[in-house]
Amino acid sequence: MHMHRAFWMILLWIAMALPAAALPPTDKFFDPVSKQWVRYRISPEAAGAIAREKYKRQTIYYRSHEPRGTIIIDTGDRYLYYTLGNNRAVRYGIGVGREGFDWSGVEKISRKKKWPSWTPPPEMIQRQPDLPRFMPGGPKNPLGARALYLGSTLYRIHGTNEDWSIGRAVSSGCIRMLNEDVINLYNQVDIGAKVIVK
């Protein structure tokens, strides 16, 4: 009994002697993608780097009966699939509409635009009065490098200057992509291509 008690006393002493830095901090979590301890509130740059790694563009096996050139958007998994035929697709990471702004349906690509300008709709300005009324295309524009317009809706598949938003539900209903990914998709997609949002 005396040995058992001594063992626990020594173990307690060792635990108390460990420096606090050797223990994981309480305001951090272990991110399995980066294999590092990261703060709960990380910088947009760090969040963007994590999103780039986690949602990296890949050609994958993807079972679909849709013809080549169809875009299938899985908002729950935060991926866009561009079908290549023969059960293959290019998979891209995306950002989607936040709660209350999510949607589903079938549309067609009605227009394509390089470095699109942006005019926030009145409803968006009402929610965010600080927004500019118009912004020309360019690197600071939230629509990013390319835009694919969906039917006659206000929704688009577009780039973003906020890489950290990929993999998250933060938009007003548009589908966001990394700029290099939306350029890649833009170069493959034809006007009239079918888009399925689920």
1-59 per-position pLDDT tens digit = 555 565 555 555 554 544 433 333 345 655 555 566 655 567 778 888 888 899 999 99
pLDDT of residue 32: 54
Q: Beta-strand (E) ranges in 56-154? A: 58-61, 71-74, 79-85, 88-93, 96-97, 105-114, 146-150
pLDDT for 182: 98
pLDDT at 18: 46
From the list 2, 4, 65, 174, the catalytic residue is: 174
Cβ burial of 102 (10 Å; 0-12, 13-18, 19+) is middle
3 state DSSP class of 195: strand
pLDDT at 50: 86
Q: Could you tell me which CATH class the domain 52-197 is placed in?
A: mainly beta
Q: What is the pLDDT of residue 183?
A: 98
Classified as helix, coil or strand, 82 is strand
Low-confidence ranges of the chain (pLDDT < 70): 1-41
Closest among 95, 94, 170, 167 to 128, alpha carbons compared: 170
For tokens 């760090």, the residue is 46
Contacts of 59 (CB under 8 A, 6+ apart): 84, 88, 89, 90, 91
Residues 6+ apart with CB under 8 A from 74: 80, 81, 198
Q: What is the pTM of this model?
A: 0.78
Given 2, 4, 65, 158, the catalytic residue: 158
pLDDT at 1: 55
Check: CB of residue 180 under 8 Å from CB of residue 92: no
Catalytic (active site) residue 158: yes
Q: Are 149 and 109 in contact (CB under 8 A)?
A: yes
